[in-house]
Structure 1
Amino acid sequence: MDAEDVVATMKRILDPATGSRARTSLSMVEGVSASDPTTVEFKLNISYAGFADIFADRQLRIVAKDKLAELSTQPIGTGPFMFKSWSPGDRLELVKNPDYFEKGLPKLDGATLRIIPESAARMAALESGAIDIVWSMPYEAVDKLKTSATARADSVSTPTWDGVILNNDRPPFNDVRVRKALALTIDKAAIVELALFGQGEPTFSPIPPSHPYFNKALKVGAPDIAQAKKLLAEAGFPNGFDVPMQVPQEREQRVRVGVAVRDMARAAGIRINVERVPFASYTANVAGKAQIYVDGYFARPTIDTAIYPFYHSSGSWNKQLWIYKDARVDQLLDDARKTNDEAARKAIFEKFQAIAEETVPGIIAYSAAHVNGVSKKVEGFKSTPMQWLELKSVSIKP
């Protein structure tokens, strides 16, 4: 790998025709070039203190410049394993990379990633010993593994969140009093139990409780139906209102969130009709259009990529979600990009969380745990907050 590989990879991601989701992470890049075989120069259009951090994103990993056209069928990289074969709908086979740069790794000679569509079949295969790891096992199966002789659940906190997306640009949720009223009806601790079977933490923030920038001075509030009704009356809805809420049909976890919110909001007079929408067309049907819907977002590698696109008024995800505009938030997030001082950045993001809690662009219900099912013969495996499947340190007991 040399600088030209880096340049080719970055240009591919930056090209709109590629359609890379990682392009958002490089929005500050105006140009990229190689000055010598080991030096890459990036020209940025803004001051961006955390630029080096964004390369922790798996979607920004470097690939060989002469293999870009073959990437979808013959992937190549610098990781611990190499591509062997791919059977669509069945399995991906990997073999050990003998030239991997970390001495003694990987420990396995290879790995097979199988596709087993039914969650019950996956768990049965794990407990029978037919497979060694179930990536992202169903939350409802965690308790059963507590008494299993052959497998265990391995859990880690993550920045991944689910919540209620409110369109701040359309009635009735363009009124902050209505948004606050809905938030006051929701028992987030109960939703963690109902939607995640207890595998998560109730929160108010897209910054997870485990993060050093989490604002510990703010607390998850208890439901207050009387105050919710008062705010609705002030907003012109003394008798509440009816509203349709979309949920992704094949994402049962989020369906459970929607049903729980519907049932909780009813006490304040907010009458929600839950509509299941096929996931394949979900974003096209709801993004920037629906008044209220349930969605969620996976962990991002940096605090800026997790917050700026979602809450800055110019943010690409914000324009598809809540269409939220607050000049104070814009200024804070712009300032955060410019400072390297950790204490200053922490203070900035704590202020951001306080404003977001006050203005309720949407309702973050919880920070979800990532849980993998693991055979008790497996050693060296750890679940990761980014939900990546890390196998380089794994070995299997006889």
Structure 2
Amino acid sequence: MKFEKKRTLSLITAILTVILIFSFTGCAPAAPTATPGSAVPSTPATTSGTPTTSKVINIGITNDPATVNPLAANNVFASTASRLLFLPLAALNEDLGFTYQLAESITTEDNQLFTVKLNPNVKWTDGNPVTTDDVLFSLGIYTNPDVGAQSPSTYNTIVGTDNAGLNISGSEVPEGAKKVDDTTLTIETKYPITLDIFNLTVGQSLRTLPKHILGQEDPKSIIKSAFLQAPNVTNGPFTFKEYVAGQYLSYEANEDYYLGAPKINTLNFKILSGTQITAQLESGEIDMNFPLVGNIPYDDYERVRSLANVRTEEGIPSNVQVLFINSQVVDNVKVRQAMSLAIDRDSILQNILKGDGYITKTPVTNRIQYWNEEAAAPEYDIEKAKQLLAESGWDLSKELVFSVPTGNTTREKVGTIIAESLKSIGLNVTIQKADLATTLGNVQKSNYDLSIIGMPDVPLNIISYLRVYASTKYTWTQYSNPVADGLVDTILSSVDDQVLKSSYLELQQLIADEVPVAGLYSEHALRAINKRVTYGELKEYGALLDVEKWDVE
């Protein structure tokens, strides 16, 4: 069931709620390791060990989830992986509206008190009903300072939390959340927000955990509990089967799922390189790739499009690759300006993206409502870049470490090009590669010089990302500017369309001028689906919302 998407953007104070959830490496579960591309289990057995007929879908990804624990979800796919097990209240769909999942309805009369009615048909896999007590327990865990859950700021609009989203109520649950009955609760926010923003933050991020299983766990150690490393009581369309780091993540159908048992028995995510994804699409070892976390290399697009056993679809820009610049390390604005000017974005578009993408100087695309077209226009001028660098008095012997995450081969190529471009104007740049989770964690903690990260481009909630670049209170760039802080605060506290428009335009221009970050490009990620799949594909938004309906010949 869907409810209508409001067109008016509103104000929020939740940070990167939906897609990016960053990690501390100590929170990831221990798991066996294996060579990427190794075989996955595909044919289940009966209790006697005799193989049974099975429907299986294998999906290629390049980003290792590292965990299915929703408290420790540490990258794009980890968050998605946990939602297959633990339903959120609502989820963003492909139309940028919302689809109810655990919730049957979410309503508000004043945009400040939200009434959540749970679907009474949802049950845990051990037969117990999912109740309001589970939801409130889970909210308390996510916001408990002792737990160390990822991105608690998602919940910082709720009465009883601080700006970091941590519970300061003196009770187990933020005081703004109250039980009405076993299937109804209310959540009060500190100030009015639209229903869209509530659903995008609280609704989509709150993946409910079983209180009857975890209620006696010590909050200080719950994130590392054995249950959350391999959950065996869940409420989503699939149940956890096995995770082997660097190799695969495997699920089995939840036969008692409230929307009906999935038509496929086993769902596997194979962790591969980009070239392996292409090869295994061709061989039929995988049935599809997962765009954004399992990109086909641009050099392979024509090869994949020509395959007889797959159909392909062109993607839309749904994230932006951004050059993060630590302003405490590069504290001279002229050096940051020189860096942006030294990058030939058009060459990246034509030679790396093969014309299949979008380039920008600011970290947003033209899909947002208040887009500053002039600020976003790419500018490439090597001579001006050299001049600015000379004027800055920058010590050219100072080494700048450029952190480039592995997995996305296109991004790795672009990282090399950017490093060479910066060297060409005289900067001393050294590339350092690490897995995505490690790189993201370091960027979140501002433990980097330069880095390239893919950031979400969700038009409903763009201030959550802009403030990460430019607001002193929220930034990962260590950039501090009272004007930027004022603009962010205005956007977060205003409902006037003209005020919002002028503030958004000015903030984008300031980012273009001061360069706390530099926008680079957005990919039109190619989707490939084996023709044996009769229903099911992974879109940019709402990728797995109807996975219980997926089927194969």
Same fold (TM over 0.5): yes
Q: What residue is the counterpart of 2:337 in the other structure?
A: 180
Pair 123,257 (structure 1): closer, same or farther in 2 beyond 3 Å? closer
1:155-211 C-alpha deviation (Å, 9 max, x unpaired) = 4234423232212123xx212122112211111122245555554311123333223
SS for the counterpart of 1:313 is coil
Q: What residue is the counterpart of 1:306 in the other structure?
A: 465
2:327 is the alignment partner of 1:168 = yes
**TM-fit CA distance, 1:375:** 1.0
Pair 236,306 (structure 1): closer, same or farther in 2 beyond 3 Å? closer
Distance 1:277 1:342 in 2: 43
Contact 1:381 1:390 in 2 (8 A): no
Q: What residue is the counterpart of 1:146 in the other structure?
A: 305
1:93-132 alignment runs, 5 A limit: 93-96=251-254, 98-101=256-259, 108-132=263-287
2:193 is the alignment partner of 1:36 = no
Task: Determine which of 244, 247, 251 is the counterpart of 2:400.
Answer: 244
Distance 1:137 1:350 in 2: 32
Q: What residue is the counterpart of 2:147 in the other structure?
A: 18
**TM-fit CA distance, 1:139:** 2.2
2:382 is the alignment partner of 1:225 = yes
Q: What residue is the counterpart of 2:93 in the other structure?
A: none
Q: What residue is the counterpart of 1:271 in the other structure?
A: 427
Contact 1:158 1:368 in 2 (8 A): yes
**TM-fit CA distance, 1:364:** 1.7
Contact 1:299 1:386 in 2 (8 A): no
SS for the counterpart of 1:270 is coil
TM-score (normalised: structure 1) = 0.82
Distance 1:274 1:94 in 2: 44
Contact 1:155 1:383 in 2 (8 A): no
Distance 2:497 2:510 in 1: 20
Q: What residue is the counterpart of 1:375 in the other structure?
A: 530
Q: What residue is the counterpart of 1:60 in the other structure?
A: 206
Q: Kindly indicate which of the two structures has a greater share of residues assigned to helix.
A: 1
Distance 1:48 1:324 in 2: 27
Pair 199,387 (structure 1): closer, same or farther in 2 beyond 3 Å? farther
1:274-353 alignment runs, 5 A limit: 274-279=430-435, 282=439, 287-298=445-456, 302-315=461-474, 318=475, 321-341=476-496, 344-353=499-508
TM-score (normalised: structure 2) = 0.61
Task: Determine which of 480, 491, 509 is the counterpart of 1:354.
Answer: 509
Pair 224,240 (structure 1): closer, same or farther in 2 beyond 3 Å? farther
Letter in 1 for 2:136: V
SS for the counterpart of 1:157 is coil
Contact 2:396 2:428 in 1 (8 A): no
Distance 2:270 2:552 in 1: 24
**TM-fit CA distance, 1:147:** 0.9
Pair 377,66 (structure 1): closer, same or farther in 2 beyond 3 Å? same
Distance 1:98 1:285 in 2: 41
Distance 1:235 1:139 in 2: 38
Distance 2:314 2:145 in 1: 37
Q: What residue is the counterpart of 1:137 in the other structure?
A: 295
Unaligned runs of 5+ in 1: none
Contact 1:159 1:298 in 2 (8 A): yes
SS for the counterpart of 2:315 is strand
Distance 2:316 2:367 in 1: 7
Pair 87,383 (structure 1): closer, same or farther in 2 beyond 3 Å? closer
Distance 2:136 2:524 in 1: 36
Distance 2:202 2:484 in 1: 25
Task: Determine which of 72, 76, 82 is the counterpart of 2:229.
Answer: 72
Distance 1:124 1:337 in 2: 47
Pair 225,174 (structure 1): closer, same or farther in 2 beyond 3 Å? same
Distance 1:247 1:194 in 2: 22
Letter in 2 for 1:63: L
Contact 1:246 1:293 in 2 (8 A): yes
Distance 1:260 1:179 in 2: 17
Pair 389,196 (structure 1): closer, same or farther in 2 beyond 3 Å? farther
Distance 1:380 1:215 in 2: 39
Letter in 2 for 1:216: E
**TM-fit CA distance, 1:55:** 3.0
Letter in 2 for 1:65: K
SS for the counterpart of 1:21 is coil
